[in-house]
Structure 1
């Protein structure tokens, strides 16, 4: 028995020594010292401690790169152009980069570690992204699984953004989530509403952020947001706008439509297709039907793929892609230029892109933010 105890103490001691050695070696091997980050050919230079991912290193310096997945390497949103040699593209990056991006040395900032001096290029508008502090002013159930969340801004107390852009909500630790994380949500409110921001947040089973919002977030809670981000906004052309939304993807389209109406940009034809399964999945119908009455060139087409008998649905039925294809052929002017604006699941977006390109809209005229 004593021999067993002695052996246990020896093994325990050796394990402790080994663990200490690993810590020491790790601190030596991964101690990259101070490194320099050159941004946009000298527009901004940072001196930072090396060793952390580029995404978090930049955020600690007040420069926020969008990351819809919170830096897990699954969304591909945190792309930056790297101008210096930092080694080959990693296996964790390759699936989210196309061939042209690889040629241009586009990298995922969440996967690249800052080990030596590095030069990068980022869009100029990212310099204006910042952390906002706010208070939850209102939480409203839009459907059984979508909540409308309005956050009153406190510091700064106003925001400038383009209709269609998104923010990243900072989710605090809860339950088994031990660290802060961020997730991206499109802004539903109009840019004219500068002192608060609204979001439509659908519950995703097992989702870190959506579970927190639906189960724990309460009115008067404090929240932090980062942004604004995104290239999904109205292009300044005369083309007809063909918009398709599914679920909480209605948020940025609502922002864009409200902004256009407020600014009296009503000379363009706007078609909004809103797809859902049954009547219980639809919301904001009154808002868009009222907009249709006020704006001659605005057309709202809600469609149900699986209407229930009790719905007494008189509108369009079928997959939203089928309804979209029918309207292209039967309702829309075939001789006008068109642009596509999509927000929903990746599967819905991919299917709608095929319908749009088959009906004369070139892929470079189709805009969307495809969140992971």
Structure 2
């Protein structure tokens, strides 16, 4: 019980206490069922409770005065928009009759909410990429703590959340929810986790939610790099396959060229054989011309015309014979040139074979790297 004479001293005490108390309570004094004095805190107030307001008969303040005893009550959220712990102490006059009550209204906090301001600043700095820790009641954001390396100008304390908010879904389903948010909404991809916090007196009733917003910048960069790597390797692999196909075609062309060159050599050998045959004919023709000239000289005047013919035959024989070395020189030059081409062709043929083999090895290596890039992409999506 509190004596009416003690009220003035208590008012001064409560005005100081409301600023120092951990849960920032509201103090009210009622006379009968009318609020005659109120002291709210700097962070917590209930607009419905104002000086001059008449309290309902079922409230703790009215019942404490009417029953002349101390009462404690847990007020659900729908009454004043906040779960409250209410303590009402009767105020008695000099005759000991209750004339009113002193009521303390303290926000009922989940243990995590009560400790949030103590653990959140420490926990927020333990995430390498940063984090936003937050809490909500059933309608709005009540706490927020950002790390020094990451913050977003959203979901500020006092902001009401909408039906598409993860907290609304958690309250509705009474289950933990973890989801990814793409970069289109906040500029960077995020991982959002939200947990329901149940009333200690009713484990089936969600009282608050506790959430974390974690940036996935490194994972996004890793995914982008792996995708770029995958795309680049795909293009390189296609180019290598085309190069391998070209190398195979070059190899086939070199083989055909090698065969053609061998045919040219065979033709050069045939020309040399014809040259030898021409030389033999020229030698024979020269001998026949010489014999004919001798016979024409013996025949005297009658063989003069025949002698002229024999002389022309010998000249033609000499000319034919002198042509043979030139033909041989040309065919030898052709053969030497062809020999060089053969050597180059063989070298090119060997190189094209090595190129084709190297292309196949490169293609196999790129396929292996591509497989690693795909695995890297899969891992980045799990971060």
Q: What is the TM-score normalised by the length of structure 1? A: 0.23
Higher helix share: 2
Larger-Rg structure: 2
Q: What is the TM-score normalised by the length of structure 2? A: 0.23
Higher strand share: 1
